[in-house]
Amino acid sequence: MKLLLYTEDFPQPGARAPRHSGIGRYCHDLATGLAEAGTPVTVLAPQEGGPATETAYRVLPLPRYHGRVVSRARAVRRALAQGAGHLLLAGDPVAHRVLAFGGAPRDVPRAPIFYGTELRALAPSLGYAGWSPLGLLRRAAWRRYVETARHRIVISRYAASQLSQALGRTVSSVTVYPAVAGEFLATAPAPPRSGDGLRLLAIGRISERKNQLGVARMLAAARAAGLDVRCTFLGNVDAREHESYAARLREYVAGSGLGDAVTFLPQATDADKLAALDDCHAVVALSRTVGASVEGFGITVLEAAARERPAIVSTEGGLPETIVEGETGFAVHVADEPAFMEALRALVSPQRRAALGAAALRRVRAGFTAAAMARRFLEGVA
């Protein structure tokens, strides 16, 4: 079997390639794992200068997408005509749009890849669209694209449930979890420095969905209860829409007497992130669903696990799938203060933290690598 993976979101040449964020990173890791497992993979993606590092898969570069649905559909057909693949994977929302409205080749089976936020945004197009001719045609095109796919790839069981909910009926899908980058597993984690109480680390853009304000409120409650706990917020304000939220977060920290307990770490490099993970005792990810924006999985929790750090996660989206309750971490409702305090008290024990961290690392090595992605994919599409 040969695979053609078409995606508009993919690592670009440069210092940070081939790592990327979100679905681009997912596509790179899946292609890497499949190619290393012996499955020929061709990636059709915007790569004007070619990949910055040698890859196990072949890259067919595309110019940047500017709304040219028809030209993109032709590029996909041309790659298939050249023998690039027997199965067509579509890796991001733009690729789905091109194939749904540009005409996906009928003689080549498809396997679109979906994640949580995209499915929540796509749900209105798959469901009732009103009685306008344009709305009905749009709905028919999207449903035909999703329902006639040979396989539907989802990044978590939560995303699988969202897919069925959007279509209004249960549909089959293949869950292929994301992979942890090799650099998180390449070296043994350093033990955290002593002192400063229990140190938590929250990773992610400063935004309502990532819910740093909720973490700060839990932190204030914990310190009021006599727990010596601190937290570093590693992340940027990367959109104007999040600036007011960031201002509220800083005001709350200053007004709640958390100045000595909270550290902000913006513009962090990959090396900074690794150092912060090794210096913390546990990570906290209390993401919440905001409109169509949801945490479809939560790869940072697994990156922390690769450094033998347990986690406290929220019960929303796909985050509960990143831990094994009581074995590698704890899942709590975003507003459940008693449950959060109970998790913190468990993490105060160095012995309990060590046991949780060791189990988390074993879980990552067994199931969250590029090789594991390839294995789940191949088993699911066999």
Contact criterion met (CB below 8 Å) for 292 and 285: no
Mean pLDDT of 114-140: 82
What is the structure's pLDDT at 17?
45
pLDDT on residue 61: 86
Average pLDDT across the chain, whole number: 91
Alpha carbon distance 332, 152 (integer Å): 30
Quote the pLDDT of residue 15: 41
Residue 274 has pLDDT above 70, yes or no: yes
Partner residues linked to 203 by β-bridges? 234
- Among 80-84, 320-324, 329-333, where is mean pLDDT lowest? 80-84
Percent pLDDT > 90 in the chain is 68
For residue 48, what are the CA distances in angstroms to 20, 51, 53, 97? 16, 9, 14, 22
Among 85-89, 212-216, 330-334, where is mean pLDDT lowest?
A: 85-89
Return the CATH fold of 3-181+368-381: Rossmann fold (3.40.50)
Residue 13: is its pLDDT beyond 80? no
131, pLDDT greater than 80: no
Q: Across residues 84-93, what is the average pLDDT?
A: 89
Q: What is the dihedral of CA 78, 81, 84, 89, to 10 degrees?
A: 70
Q: Is 331 helix (H, G, I), strand (E, B) or coil?
A: strand
Residue type, 156: S
- Per-residue model confidence as pLDDT tens digits over 248-260: 999 999 999 999 9
Tokens standing for residue 24: 């681009």
The reported pLDDT for the residue numbered 49 is 56
What are the percentages of helix, strand and coil residues in the chain, rounded to 5?
45, 15, 40
Q: Return the DSSP state at 293.
A: B
Sheet holding 174-175, edge to edge: 58-62, 41-46, 3-6, 87-90, 110-114, 153-154, 174-175
Q: Is 296 helix (H, G, I), strand (E, B) or coil?
A: coil
Order of strands across the sheet that contains 329-332: 262-265, 229-234, 198-203, 282-285, 311-314, 329-332
Contacts of 27 (CB under 8 A, 6+ apart): 5, 7, 9, 10, 43, 45, 91, 92, 113
Q: What is the pLDDT of residue 88?
A: 96
pLDDT single digits (tens) 356-369 = 999 999 999 999 99
Q: What confidence score (pLDDT) does residue 155 get?
A: 96
Which has more pLDDT, 137 or 214?
Answer: 214
Position 102 pLDDT exceeds 90: no
pLDDT for the residue 344: 97
Q: Which residues of the chain does CATH 3.40.50.2000 include?
A: 3-181+368-381, 183-367
The mean per-residue pLDDT over the stretch 61-87 comes to: 83
Q: Give the pLDDT band (50/70/90) at residue 16.
A: very low
pLDDT of residue 355: 97
Q: Which residue has the higher pLDDT, 239 or 157?
A: 157
pLDDT at 64 over 70: no
Look at residue 20 and tell me whether its pLDDT is greater than 80.
no
Answer with the residue of higher pLDDT: 51 or 68: 68
List phi, psi (to 5°) of 163: -65, -50
The pLDDT, as a whole number, for residue 133 is 84
Q: What pLDDT is recorded for position 66?
A: 64
On whether the 183-367 domain is CATH 3.40.190.10, my answer is: no
Quick check: helix, strand or coil at residue 5? strand
* C-alpha of 77 from chain center: 29
Q: What percent of the chain has pLDDT over 70?
A: 94
161-217: per-residue pLDDT in tens? 999 998 999 999 999 999 999 999 999 998 888 878 999 999 999 999 999 999 999
H or E element at residue 80:
helix 69-81
